[in-house]
Each structure stands twice: as C-alpha cells, then as structure tokens.
A and B are shown apart, each in its own frame.
Chain A
C-alpha cells in the first residue's frame, strides 16, 4: 500500500540491554537520545520491570510525553564480534532541549541510518580504494597512506612549501565529526602541514560565516534555548526553524507564541515587568512554514517582511534608524558597553542620521520593496519599551538567508548592530545569533586566515585556485563539493578534467605496480599534465569521490565516542559509541594521526628529524578521549570569573573530561566552560557584562551604501539578458532531508518523500508557463542547468522561484554564481537570475507516488 515496508510490532529492549546516552547526529538543535542495544534472539516484556525502558507497555502511551518508539527507531546491526544486535534509538526523556521526548522526522531515523550490509546503508565504504585501470580497487590502509604520504611529501619536497596541497574539510560538530575529529584534522593540516589552501565543507574558503558579528565582539552562539521561550519578540531573519531546527521551534518558540510560557517569563523578568504571549517577525522572501504556523496561532502577533533579494542589510539599518528616531535605546548602555567613537560613524553611514527621515525611508522602500509602515512596526515590536518603561526583550535569530546572502559581512553586521542598539544581547529573552545548521565542535590550531578584510583577510578562494589550474593534491574530507559548492557545474567539470588528465597519464603504458614507482609516476604526471590527485575521505562513495584517485573510509556517528555542542544553548554532551564502523573504516582523527606518522616515517628515513617530529602530533592518541583532552588543552586559561566569559572562545571546554560528561548526561555543560574552585562551570548566556573585544566594548561598523548587484548577477538584469532570464531564484533545503542527505539519499523512507529536487513557483507564474504540480521543469542560466519537479505554492511571490540545494539528483548550486563577498569570501548561494521551462511529457509514476500538497498551508 505504501512505497516502503511498514511494521506493526517492534522488539522490546530487555532489562539487560546496554543503554547509552547520545545526541542526534543531524541538525543544530542537538536533541537528546537514548540508545538501547542487545543481541538478536531475546526480547524484553511489556511490564515496566521487564524492559529496559522501564515503561509499562501494556497500555498505549500518553500523547505528548509518553515513550516515543516509532518504526524508524529500530534496526539491526552487526558488530565486529560477528553477532547481530538490535539497536533502538529513541528521544531521551531528560533533555533540556527536546522536552517531552519531542523529535524531528530526521532524528527519528537515526536507527535506520546505521550501517548494515542488509539494509540501504550497505553503501557505506569499508576499505580504502585506489583508482587503478580506471576502476576502484581495494587496498590496505598501510598501502593507501604510503601512496598518499609519498605524493604529499614529493609535492612539498619539490615546492619547499604546502601551497599545492589543497584541502576541503568539515569543521563542524555532530554528523560523526565533533571536537575529536576537528582536532585531528586541524593538527594534520596546521601542525604537520602548513596548509593555506584549505576550505570549509560548505564554502570555498577557510573563514567564519559571521565575521560581521564576531568582529563586533559578538560570537554568533550567545543565547540559550530558554531565551526563545521568554522573549517578548522573536525575529527570524533568513531562518526557517520549523524545518531546519524543528524541535527548537516546536518546544521553545511555538509555546511562546501560544502564550504557554508566561510563568517562565515572569520568573525571568524584573518585578512588575509586563509579560504576554510572544510576537514573531519573519523576514524572508518566502512565506515559510515558521511564519504560516505562527499566523495560524495568532495572526495579529506575526509580521512578515519580504525584502528584495540582497537588500536585507539596508532593511536592518532602516529598522535601526526607526529605533534611533523613536529613541528605543538606552543611552547609558550605549555609553558604557559600546565604543561611542565608532558609534558616530555607524550613525552617520548606516543609520544616515543626517538624511531627513522621510527621504531616508523613501529610499529604503525603493531599494528593499518593504513598506515604511511595516519597517516602523518591526522597530516597535523589536525595541519599543513596554508599559512601565521596561526594555523590550527581543531574540534575533538569523541563518543562511543572511549568511549566504549578497555582501555577507555587511548583512550580518547590520543585524547584530540593530540588536545591540536595542540592548537586545546578554539579557534573558534576548540575543542575536545564528539559528545554526549542524552542531559545532571546533577546536583547532591557529588557521591561516585571522579574519575579514578588516582583520588580515580575506581568505583564499580555494575553488577558484583549483579551477584556475593550481594545486596538485586535493584532499576532500566529509563533504561533497560536486553538489554543494557555488557554481558547482563549472567546478565539477574542471575538477573532473584535471583528475582525468592525471588518470590518463597514469594509464599510459599501464599504472606501475610497485608503490614507489606509482608515487613517482603520479608526481611526474602532476607536473606533466597540470592534473590533480584527488583524495576523498567520507562515509560513502559521494559524487565527488567518484572522480577521486584514492578513497578513504571514515567512521560515522555512533561508531565512536564523540563530543559536540548544539547551537541554541552551546550544550556540550558526550555522544557514546554503540556500534562498530563498517569494515576498516576509521575515525577522521585516527586517519590524520596515521597519515602524520607515515609522513614522519618518510622524513625520518631521510634523517630529517625536525620535519618528522612536526608530523608526530598524534603519537600519544590512543582513545577518542585522548584527542578530546589534547584539543581542550589548546584553549586559553579559563580559570577566570564569570564577568570575563567574553574573553573565552565560544566552544572552550578546557577542564571537561569524558567522566564529567558521563556524569552530567543529557544535562551537559554550556560552553564556554570556566573553572571555578577546580570544577567546570558553564555559561548560560553570553555578553551580559562585556563583549568579546579587547576593550570589552561592542565595536560598531559603518556598512556600505546600497550599490546594486555584483557583476555576476547584474549581467542578468540588463537588455536582452533580462528578457532571457526573467526570474529571480532563491535556494534552500527541505524539512524531511535537512542536514541528513548524506545518509538519506539511501533511505527509502526519505527518498520516497522527495524523489527529486523541487522548484517552488507562484500560482500566477505557473499558470502563465503552463506548469502544474508534478511537472518537470528545467531551470537554467549561463552558470548551469538543473531539473526540478514543480510545486505550485504561494510561498514564493510572482517573479521569484525557490529551488532545492544538495539533492543527490541535482542541486540548485549548478546555477549559483561564483561571486563571493570580497570582505569574507562567503558565497551568495541564495540569489541569481534564471529562466524556467516545462519539460514536455510527464512522469506519471512520480505524480502518483509523491505528495504535492502545499507545505506552508496549516489553516
């Protein structure tokens, strides 16, 4: 009846099942989960004392709080002892994040995403693979690392530096990464090698996505989940938490909008301060589900602003200008907590205080397309003092709609400045930061680029470096740039051309059999062809890996002990190992350690002791915790008073051990961690006393004027091009597969829901172009092409379409421009111009099996 096998009974964990604490591997929210494992062949009973849940299963569970155990929360895995084990992964009942065992459709599939040769995840990589005779052939780790170290050493011996060694690697938590693997990767490339051509998983450079905030003294993770429950107003700017941080929305924002958190508000507010149900402002070109749900609850307390693409920073400055005009600020706060010399510049250039208000607002209306009355209403909801003169409490949350916008630096800076002008950072119910995508777990030696163009940057665009024909070794770790990088169609073609050039060279007269001869021929071929030796280290044979020369199998979440923090509370917890990795797959830190030791071996053989020692960074790492502690020691002294927390890196966990984390379990500890009386103490909310600058004062910045669109997009706005490419396109992801598609592309439970990437188009445009739900459409521009299935929806307004990124059958990034913000090298993934046409004919099977009901309609 349905497309996937369903179940009507699940195994019950017996009382002697192993129980582990973990956190969902996927999104920023980091919901707590419990894992139960036991050998196949036994089961527990229904009575509470007969099962490991300790729950009476004889009667149905109570909705909203009872045990949650759904069909996707069970699977069977094989361990290295050769035996089969049941694995049950259910939402924890003691998490401060996912109250009442709430969970998303993604976290609920952690169990079926585990590796098994008997299920869809049999696609996991087990052994190292070497391209030989234009086919992947299995080799050992020793052989793989001998080849890789030989090539890397050959390149640096010749060059005398690491300029031709290019890397693209994850820098996040969760997803099988975490502090341990970040420290491993960072140690290899920054302690062993001195790599400067390195890029982060989702962008072409090694940079922060929010230098516009950090360089003001505000790290992007500064609020706690509780702030969403007690805020007077929540601003969602280019962020759609219902789909990308679902439980943060349903357990922390939705109850606020429903007025269900008044008691908590009163507890956190000053005496006599008014508390009422929360207001929500959504600033987004689309009518996103986070907005339309709130409209269903309380239309009169929601406001939607739809700025023209790229104009958000002008809008943020305009809201701030209204706040300035209406005196929605605390002069004393500005004077004591912020840099007033820089404030004058901000007032002059960002707020344009010298331009008459009416003229200023008319200019803003013209640029942004947002009505003055709505801008003023937003300012009132954000910062107008409450009855009794109490400062309003507004939590401003932004994400990729701002980060992956045009002019990344100015967009982020404008929003955080708007928040600080209203004294909306560092108090209960306030904060200004990222929603987050994945979890975090960054701990690394110093990286090559200290900051934006104002602080030693901008960083190198490694995509451009490679597509320009530079670099010899390209090592990709835990990311799939063939789908994810901007202008990916061009990137893919160029990397394929360069890797194939080397493969063809190696194939002439046959690839040499002996290892050293193969290494020598690779080095010779790199010089002779301008080719690229590509190494991919990942869970699966990704699109990128299919063009690699060497593939290294990495282990995943649950296959080792790992640690990460979530984004909405900086909550550090231990994610306990509950199964073995497939075959000989290894943790990234271990691969990096072994690569380092192999490099050291090669240098030592030549008597180069000093070089050898550089690469022995991991010689004492035996366990996951060894790496965690080694990384933790790299943080500065944290035995400091609470008032100095702003001086610490946001993820500082120095002094925390696995034993401590086991003890605190799901309660975790909030980073940055300080040491008080020898014990680790967390930080609930940041910047209550000082900001993260040298003098502790918020550092204002004068944003640029509106200068129109960058050349890569502006070319589509003139003359014939404007006719040929008549639509604006914005991009994003979807609820069912948010942050999960590395596994979900293999799971029928998910591929059956989103068999293809989709395009959203307005009813008016759809009618004009003869498009209806379930049709196929091609979308194209000069950068590239992609095929999407059509969804007609009022989410987008006429003239704008939305397309899905990162789907394994095609990604919107084929069409995105190569533009990056000159201040930060962050791309604009979410805006360009395109043409769209119906592909003739149809796919009845797709139409019969896929839902095309409108995803943002809840009334």
Chain B
C-alpha cells in the first residue's frame, strides 16, 4: 500500500516529516537527499523476533528486509528499538543478502553485516553497510518505510 504524502502526515503526525522533506540543496551529498514514498511494510504486533519480512522499496525493483532483532539497534523503531529494515542488495556486487543467525550474510562472497550496527560490514568485501531504510511507526503499530539512508547497489540514484 503506497500512501500519498498527505496521507502519511495524517498517519504519522507532523513530527516525522522533517526527514521526508530533507531534500534541500544543503544536504545534496548526504542521504536522504531525494523524495521517497512512504510505504507500509508491516505492523509491530505481527513481527516475531528473527523472522524477516521482505518487501519492495522504494520501488518494485528493490527488495528490502524488515526484521525484529530482539536487541536494540541503531535506527531501530518499536518499543525495544529493535525493528530495522535494510536494502537486501549486497553493497559489494548486488547479490541478495540472507538474514541468518542474527546477521545479514551475502552468499556470493560472504560479506556479513551487523543489523544492530546500521548493517555495518564486520567481515567481507563490501565497502559500505547495507542502506538502512528509515522506519516510522503509526499509533496502530503499522510500520512505514520512509527513506533510504545509503545508495542501493546497482543504481546511481535511489529513485
């Protein structure tokens, strides 16, 4: 379900808009510098620890992974700050990463990313962490993807 910007304001309240509109010239070099859609990707009440949910964001050709880690994470949302989402394309050569054993693992060249540490590369060949998808939580527990913090592999521009 894709929400219009007007609708997302209603759902999330005005407080979250700063990051959505942070596409001013001054921030050109740093993400998020583009205007991203807001898309519902899950609900805090239906997520189980370490049971990832896959979704497409910011468009149909980019897969994201939403996961509740059961431990606090950088950029985590929810009561325990443990719900995070990332682009699933490995930032090394674009293979799809797997969520396995509490971390992301790329099956092609074995880069591993720590989901609690902004998907930082703690082993392997990738040069940046997985792009973190900024999340917002509505009062009813719905989780929305709002922007992508980092370049999705294979693109020169996220959208």
Contacts and interface: CB of A to CB of B under 8 A. Distances in A.
A587 B12 CA distance: 58
A857 B120 CA distance: 16
B46 to A, nearest CB: 24
B151 A9 contact: yes
A6 B150 contact: yes
B74 A2 contact: yes
Interface in B104-131: 105, 108-110, 112, 114, 116-118, 120-129, 131
B75 interface: yes
Nearest to A112: B127
Contacts of B124: 105, 735
Interface string A6-17: 111110100000
7 contacts: A2-B75, A57-B155, A60-B153, A63-B89, A293-B110, A296-B110, A736-B121
Interface in A325-362: none
Interface stretch (A412-420, A661-669, A846-854): A846-854
A104 interface: yes
A70 B121 CA distance: 14
Contacts, number: 167
A8 B125 contact: no
B68 to A, nearest CB: 17
Given A70-B153, A71-B128, A102 B62 contact: no
Contact of B31 (A7, A64, A289): A7
A699 interface: no
A373 interface: no
Contact of B33 (A1, A9, A12, A64): A9
A62 B154 contact: yes
A8 B110 contact: no
Contact of B94 (A61, A72, A108, A293): A61
A3 B131 CA distance: 13
Contacts of B117: 849-851
Contacts of A57: 155-156
Contacts of A289: 110, 123
Interface residues of B, number: 54
Given A6-B149, A70-B91, A105 B125 contact: yes
Contacts of A851: 114, 116-117, 120, 122
A857 B105 CA distance: 10
A62 B123 contact: no
Contacts of B93: 63-65, 68, 100-102
Given A10-B156, A853-B122, A1 B127 contact: no
B61 A103 contact: no
A851 B123 CA distance: 10
Contact of A853 (B90, B112, B149, B150): B112
B137 to A, nearest CB: 15
B101 interface: yes
Given A1-B118, A71-B127, 6 more contacts: A2-B132, A63-B94, A68-B93, A102-B109, A853-B122, A856-B123
Contacts of B125: 102-105, 246-247, 250
A858 interface: yes
A2 B121 contact: no
Q: Is the interface of B mostly helix, strand, loop or mixed?
A: loop
B17 interface: no
A318 to B, nearest CB: 32
Interface of A: 1-3, 5-10, 12, 46, 57, 59-73, 100-105, 108-109, 242, 246-247, 250, 254, 289, 293, 296, 735-736, 749, 752-753, 848-851, 853, 855-859
Nearest to A753: B120
A640 to B, nearest CB: 41
A72 B121 contact: no
Contacts of B157: 8-10
A736 B127 CA distance: 9
A108 B127 contact: yes
Contacts of B131: 6, 8
A600 to B, nearest CB: 47
A497 B120 CA distance: 42
A66 B131 CA distance: 19
A6 B122 contact: no
Contacts of B33: 7-9
Nearest to A69: B156
B113 to A, nearest CB: 9
Given A63-B95, A858-B105, A8 B154 contact: no
Contact of B128 (A65, A66, A103, A749): A749
B151 A64 contact: no
B150 A7 contact: yes
B149 A1 contact: yes
Interface of B: 29-34, 61-62, 74-75, 89-96, 101-103, 105, 108-110, 112, 114, 116-118, 120-129, 131-132, 134, 148-158
Given A1-B132, A63-B95, A100-B93, A9 B156 contact: yes
B151 A62 contact: no
A146 to B, nearest CB: 44
A395 to B, nearest CB: 21
A109 B127 contact: yes
A707 B103 CA distance: 46
A289 B123 CA distance: 9
Contacts of A296: 110
A250 to B, nearest CB: 5
Contacts of A100: 93
B30 to A, nearest CB: 5
Contacts of A246: 125
Nearest to A64: B93
A802 to B, nearest CB: 15
B141 to A, nearest CB: 21
A8 B121 contact: no
Nearest to A57: B156
Contact of B127 (A64, A66, A105): A105
A100 B109 CA distance: 13
Kindly name the residue among B103, B118, B124 whose own CB sees the greatest number of chain A CB atoms within 10 A. B124
Given A1-B74, A6-B30, A855 B151 contact: no
Contacts of A65: 93
A6 B31 contact: yes
B122 A71 contact: no
Q: Which 8 A-B pairs have the closest CB atoms?
A: A63-B94, A108-B127, A2-B118, A61-B154, A8-B31, A1-B75, A851-B114, A851-B122
A60 B61 contact: yes
Contacts of A7: 29-31, 33, 150-151
Contacts of A66: 94, 154
Nearest to B113: A851
Contacts of A67: 154
Contacts of A63: 89-90, 93-96, 108, 153-154
Contacts of B108: 63-64
Contacts of B92: 103, 105
B61 to A, nearest CB: 6
Contact of A753 (B62, B112, B121): B121
Contacts of A848: 74
Contacts of B116: 851
